[in-house]
Amino acid sequence: MSEEQSITYIAKPGGHLTGHIRVPGDKSISHRSIMLGSLSEGCMTITGFLQGEDSLATLRAFRAMGVQITGPDEQGKVIIDGVGMYGLKAPDGPLDLGNSGTSMRLLTGLLAAQGFDLTLSGDHSLSSRPMKRVTDPVVQMGAHIETNKDGTAPLIIHSNNESQLQAINYTLPMASAQVKSCVLLAGLYAQGQTCVTEPAPTRDHTERMLQGFGYDIKVDELDEQRRQICLQGGGKLTACDIDVPSDISSAAFFMVGASISEDSDITLKHVGINPTRIGVINILQQMGADISLSNEQEVGGEPVADIRIRYAKLKGIHIPEDQVPLAIDEFPAISIAAACADGQTILTGAEELRVKESDRIQAMVDGMKILGIDCEGTKDGMIINGGEFSSGTVDGLGDHRIAMSFAMAALKAKGPVTIKDCANVNTSFPDFIGLAQSCGLQVNSKADV
């Protein structure tokens, strides 16, 4: 997707969501399956791989480092011939990771101990996001990484041939799955045992997948909130097949859309319900949403289920802070539900939202105000008073989650909602428009000239 291309969504008011649909594969698992599969010993098959721009950026990066990767085909099938822990080769130029923060932050750890120099670059949005929170702990381990003066990309990772990385015990300043994963992946190449302590649970796909590839990893519950994850450097990864479940972050838009629009009754098939990712379900249910799970099973170490959502009258709540890390990517959608709820919804403890693809707190507050909602941003969250959406034009700011959230808002709007700068929806949700139209959302897109 060209950065210069601009896409606008026009969502008409009214309608409701019905049917049985399957949203695209989980982005977090798609990223990690390429990374660990490339470094494993043997051949593996991935099914359900997310063919969005972000995960494809990870795939292209490993191809550029000499990994033989076939696919993805139309069904999301990918075959990887792993090169082992030390089989990567120097790419011909910088690894362009587009808009993918996950790719850059995880690869910072994974590539810190390779025997060659390389540069991680990205688009304008990615190049403005903070990277010191991943480079600092890896540098503490002995890596040689350069950033811009303000701690942003491009990141220049220098060869670490002279000395091996050294294990560290690292306590995360704030709950972040990306920082945790970066340090753990660097720990694969470190001398000794690397431990990461997180102040609150975050998504644990890295830990689960490392175990799936046969790597010994230890997880200890220190108390109700804190966990410590430890691994010994110097092991190996053994190839295993992975079936990627549908992404709960993508499912969240339809959960909210069905919850706020009368006569809605939709079932989302084969959605990942990892315990570290189900904050959106817990929060919406506390708001009064009618959500039920069926056909629960475990696929490749990840729990999945079909999720049925029916319209229900929502109420405002003070969102429990222990649920915030479990729903950090879903708050743009959740804020739309809050705007349609009776009473006031208060979000606190979500300062990480200010350093995503956009400042998601400010982006949602600005857009909701344009659409007539009484709300305000705070340092670490939002205060949203339930009301009615009017008609208007909002800015998607090149952030896929902002764009899709405001598209769902049209279900309860008094007039059309126009969303500008939506091209990056393809980073996580290819054919969002087609799938949304198939279940009742009256939305179209146009390329801006």
Which amino acids are annotated catalytic? 329
Q: Name the nearest CA neighbour of 411 among 330, 323, 336, 321.
A: 336
Q: Name the nearest CA neighbour of 190 among 144, 255, 254, 235.
A: 235
Strand partners, 345: 384
- DSSP string across 165-187: EE--EEE-SS--HHHHHHHHHHH
Residues 6+ apart with CB under 8 A from 403: 9, 396, 419, 421, 422, 424, 425
Are 7 and 448 a contacting pair, CB within 8 Å? Answer: yes
Are 101 and 85 a contacting pair, CB within 8 Å? Answer: no
Are 438 and 14 a contacting pair, CB within 8 Å? Answer: no
Give the chain's length. Answer: 449
**Cβ neighbour number for residue 199 with a 10 Å cutoff:** 16
Residues 6+ apart with CB under 8 A from 64: 91, 92, 95
> Alpha-carbon distance 213 to 133, whole Å?
27
Tell me, what DSSP letter sits at residue 437?
Answer: H
Q: Name the nearest CA neighbour of 388 among 330, 342, 444, 332.
A: 342
Q: Which residue blocks in 3-145 are alpha helix, DSSP H?
A: 27-38, 53-64, 101-110, 132-140
Strand partners, 14: none
> Alpha-carbon distance 215 to 381, whole Å?
38
> Alpha-carbon distance 336 to 351, whole Å?
18
- DSSP string across 224-284: SS-EEEEEETT---B---EEPPBPHHHHHHHHHHHHHSTT-EEEEEEEE--TTTTHHHHHH
